Amino acid sequence: MLRTIPHDGDEATETVAVVIPTLNEERSIGRVIDDVPVADLLKKGLETAVYVIDGRSSDNTREIAVEKGATIILEERQGKGSAIQTAFKSIDADYAIMVDGDDTYPIDMATEMTCLLKKYDVVIGSRLKGFIEPGAMSRLNVLGNTLLTLLARALFGITVTDVCTGLWGYRGDAVRRLELEAHGFEIEADMFSECARKGLSIAEIPIRYRARADHAKLSSLRDGLRIGAFLCRKRLMARMRTPAANAQPERVRTADGRHVALVQRWDVRNRQQKWTHRPEQTNVRPIRNHWTEGALSDPDTIDEQVNVETQEMVLSCR
Ligand SMILES: Nc1nc2c(ncn2[C@@H]2O[C@H](COP(=O)(O)OP(=O)(O)OP(=O)(O)O)[C@@H](O)[C@H]2O)c(=O)[nH]1
Ligand SMILES: [Mg+2]
């Protein structure tokens, strides 16, 4: 059930779900919920619902979250990834913003993120492109995050600068297309590789990263190695799952509201899964006659492109 934070005035036409995974975050959860820019979002026509996906906290996390107007979803299974999977299956909103509950990420940037989500499927808040406050991230973690990001880029061919960030924004359609499997701290690597596999367009905004008031649940070395191994496994599995020549067409809505039938194709050169329309099943005609490499991050060419060699038409699925 969707429970929205009360507001006065402006009319909302779309919805945004703010998703916060928590495990014993009583020291910070109140501030995170307070910082959700409900009024600003409403001015942009967005009604906000805050969901706290709690993994059996033994402190007052849930009580505080309820007091602040959030909806609690209890996740019995362990791990941040389990919480995110449950949230993404339960919510049905036009946009979803995922943010950690330890008050280290600027959730007040949600409005800016939803603006970008009008053009992109996914927005990532990048700490490494932004500013890391003193004491917020150890040198080991800076190194680990940088190495994991370079690995993700090399494996999936998409340029992002902070693959492990805890601040992500999604269009609702994009959330429904993710096939997530990670239960622990590999969830961001899973989200990233799914975005790559599904050919979703990704934008980044630089963010300020704050220090945690409490101790972290993540273990730098153990979880870092797990995340690296997860990225490699996902890449290998993606290779084995291709090409999907006999895949069933899927009906999706493009940015301008049309419905088109798409089938999966494997784009060997870019090592990514693309979505290719079947001309006989749609009335969509190519609007461009060139292939733009790296176009995943270009808002002006993202909607429809044609590979002149194969005559495949690639659409972003919004
Ligand atoms: N539901 C649920 N949430 C969790 C679990 N483990 C961690 N979280 C939440 O996931 C978010 C990220 O966890 P952190 O411990 O901050 O991990 P991190 O941000 O990667 O590590 P730091 O940079 O050291 O803070 C926080 O809001 C946690 O409360 C879990 O088992 N279940
Ligand atoms: Mg944290």
Structural domains present in the chain: 14-240 (3.90.550.10), 251-316 (no CATH)
Are the C-beta atoms of residues 51 and 18 closer than 8 Å to each other?
yes
pLDDT at 238 over 50: yes
Q: Which residue has the higher pLDDT, 254 or 66?
A: 66
> Could you say which ligand is closest to the alpha carbon of residue 55?
1
Give the dihedral sign, CA 76/97/34/45: negative
pLDDT at 29 over 50: yes
Of ligand 1's listed atoms, the one at least distance from the Cα of 25 is 29
Helix (H) or strand (E) holding 15: strand 14-22
Compute, in angstroms, the gap from residue 304 CA to the centroid of ligand 2.
38
Q: Which residues surround ligand 2, an ion (CB under 5 A)?
A: 100, 102, 104
The reply to whether ligand 1 has any atom less than 6 angstroms from the CB of 224 is no
CA-nearest of 197, 278, 191, 188 to 240 is 197
Give pLDDT tens digits for 284-311: 333 332 223 333 333 333 344 444 444 4
Q: Which residue has the higher pLDDT, 271 or 230?
A: 230
Of ligand 1's listed atoms, the one at least distance from the Cα of 212 is 25
The reply to whether ligand 1 has any atom less than 6 angstroms from the CB of 166 is yes
Label residue 30 by pLDDT band (50, 70, 90): very high
Between the CA of residue 234 and those of 156, 184, 190, 230, 298, what are the distances in Å? 10, 15, 8, 6, 25
Are the C-beta atoms of residues 209 and 127 closer than 8 Å to each other?
yes
Helix (H) or strand (E) holding 84: helix 80-90
Give pLDDT tens digits for 193-204: 999 888 888 999
Compute, in angstroms, the gap from residue 99 CA to the centroid of ligand 2.
10
Q: Note every long-range contact of 61-69, with CB atoms under 8 Å and residues 24 or more positions apart, other chains counting.
A: 61/22, 61/23, 61/24, 61/25, 61/26, 61/29, 61/101, 64/26, 64/29, 64/30, 65/20, 65/22, 65/29, 65/30, 65/33, 67/30, 68/29, 68/30, 68/33, 68/34, 69/3, 69/5, 69/6, 69/33
pLDDT at 114 over 90: yes
Q: Which residue has the higher pLDDT, 69 or 313?
A: 69
pLDDT at 5 over 60: no
Compute, in angstroms, the gap from residue 65 CA to the centroid of ligand 2.
18
pLDDT value of position 240: 52
Compute, in angstroms, the gap from residue 30 CA to the centroid of ligand 1.
16
pLDDT value of position 172: 94
pLDDT value of position 221: 87
Match 């995050």 to its residue by tokens.
145
For atom 12 of ligand 1, the residue with the nearest CA is 100
Between the CA of residue 24 and those of 19, 104, 206, 236, what are the distances in Å? 16, 15, 28, 35
* Residue to substitute in 31, 51, 80 for testing ligand 1 pocket (most ligand atoms within 8 angstroms of CB): 80
Helix (H) or strand (E) holding 89: helix 80-90
Give the C-alpha separation, 306 to 318, whole Å: 18
Give the dihedral sign, CA 137/168/152/179: positive
Exposure on the CB side of residue 218, measured as CA atoms within 13 A: 26
Label residue 10 by pLDDT band (50, 70, 90): low
Are the C-beta atoms of residues 317 and 177 closer than 8 Å to each other?
yes
pLDDT value of position 215: 75
Mean pLDDT of 152-179: 93
Mean pLDDT of 4-12: 56
Instruction: Locate all alpha helices (DSSP H) within 91-203, ordered by sequence.
Output: 110-116, 139-156, 172-177, 187-197
pLDDT at 239 over 90: no
The reply to whether ligand 1 has any atom less than 6 angstroms from the CB of 217 is yes
* Sheet with 312-315, side-by-side order of all strands: 250-253, 259-267, 272-277, 312-315, 304-307
> How large a percentage of the chain has pLDDT more than 70?
71
Of ligand 1's listed atoms, the one at least distance from the Cα of 53 is 1
Compute, in angstroms, the gap from residue 218 CA to the centroid of ligand 1.
7
Are the C-beta atoms of residues 155 and 231 closer than 8 Å to each other?
yes
> How large a percentage of the chain has pLDDT more than 90?
61
Are the C-beta atoms of residues 50 and 69 closer than 8 Å to each other?
yes
Paired strand residues for 21: 53
Give the C-alpha separation, 130 to 122, whole Å: 18
The reply to whether ligand 1 has any atom less than 6 angstroms from the CB of 55 is yes
DSSP string, 238-305: HHHT---TTPPPEEEE-TTS-EEEEEEEEETTTTEEEEEE-GGG-----S--S--TTGGG-TTTSSEE
Kindly report the average pLDDT of the chain as a whole number: 79
pTM of the predicted protein model: 0.77
